Chains A and B, each alone.
Chain A
Amino acid sequence: MLRNSLCSLLKNISITEKCAQSNVKTLFTSAANLRDVTDRREMLRSMPAADEGTAGEKAVDVDSLINQNFNVFPDVNTPNRLFNGVPFKDIPIFNIRVSPNNTILCLTTAKGIPQLIRSCGIEGFKNTRKGTNIAAQATAISIGTKALEKGFKSVRVTVRGLGPGRMSAIKGLQMSGLEIISITDTTRVSWNPPRPRKQRKL
């Protein structure tokens, strides 16, 4: 539409100029040739992949590390293992719920009674800004300092879902001064789920 109107305008210009004086170079633009993406799908494919907080998913160098360190994984005695004099099963839990559009952090006791809750939306980030790693980190730092004020020093962390806040929220908790003892993934995955919603049209 715009291009058509531009072309007609250019034509008009060239005609008028031709009328005024001959041997004048007509205007032309190379914008159409310079444009490397033509349709939306191609543009989406050329965009960098969205950050889902899954750094190291495809890394190969971790594999040898996994085989070496057996003490980084829990075993049968883990619930009674002492961390700063407290058994693992009695350490408060930080539940982090990550989605592409938001990050919600909730501190609960070992029994699961909620103590603090904060999300990127509450923190003041609105709309698309909620779903960024910066928002998640800021939220995590603010709730982490509050948790420290309440007297929680060391926590275990559970993360659910994929999104930009997945890793940065954990990093933010650590930056606030909390000691993170373990990280658990509680993403709900099923191999025979109910029928999901239909695919997005791009």
Chain B
Amino acid sequence: MRHLKFIARTIFVQNNDVDAACRTLNRILGREDILDQFRRTRFFEKPHQFRRRINFEKCKAIYNEDMDRKIQFVLRKNRADPFPGSF
């Protein structure tokens, strides 16, 4: 039931706008890592490539997390002191 055909990975076309529906579907597939996994399994990924990719992804995730936190900090609202560091 979880992955029934025409239930999973399906999108309805609205107002005959096939292009938009395709783009949304592609976006979801890209976000869920399905397309990347498909591309990755066309050819055998050697252990050193696998290691390199995993390490790169780890570093990227750490960087993104830090950067998100920084951006959230800069954009935060309702501060007790609206201009910290200035007199």
**Contact residues of A with B, CB < 8 Å?**
54-59, 62-63, 65-66, 69, 71-74, 78-79, 88-89, 156, 158, 162, 167, 170-171, 174, 179-191, 193, 195-200
Contacts and interface: CB of A to CB of B under 8 A. Distances in A.
Interface size on B, as a range, is 20 to 34
A181 B35 contact: no
A21 B22 CA distance: 71
Leading 7 A-B pairs by shortest Cβ distance: A56-B23, A57-B30, A185-B9, A199-B43, A62-B27, A184-B10, A57-B26
Given A62-B27, A69-B14, A188-B38, 16 more contacts: A56-B26, A57-B30, A57-B35, A72-B21, A74-B12, A88-B6, A89-B6, A156-B6, A167-B19, A167-B22, A179-B16, A183-B18, A187-B29, A189-B38, A190-B37, A198-B44
Contacts of B30: 54, 57-58
B28 interface: yes
Contacts of A54: 26, 29-30, 35
Interface in B1-55: 5-7, 9-14, 16, 18-19, 21-30, 34-35, 37-39, 41-44, 46
A180 to B, nearest CB: 5
Contacts of A65: 24
Contacts of B22: 55-56, 167, 170, 183
Contacts, number: 117
A189 B41 contact: yes
Nearest to B13: A180
A184 B37 contact: no
A189 B18 CA distance: 24
B44 A196 contact: yes
B13 A184 contact: no
A72 B24 contact: yes
Nearest to B10: A184
15 contacts: A55-B23, A55-B26, A56-B23, A62-B23, A73-B10, A74-B12, A78-B10, A167-B19, A167-B22, A179-B16, A183-B10, A183-B25, A189-B37, A189-B41, A196-B42
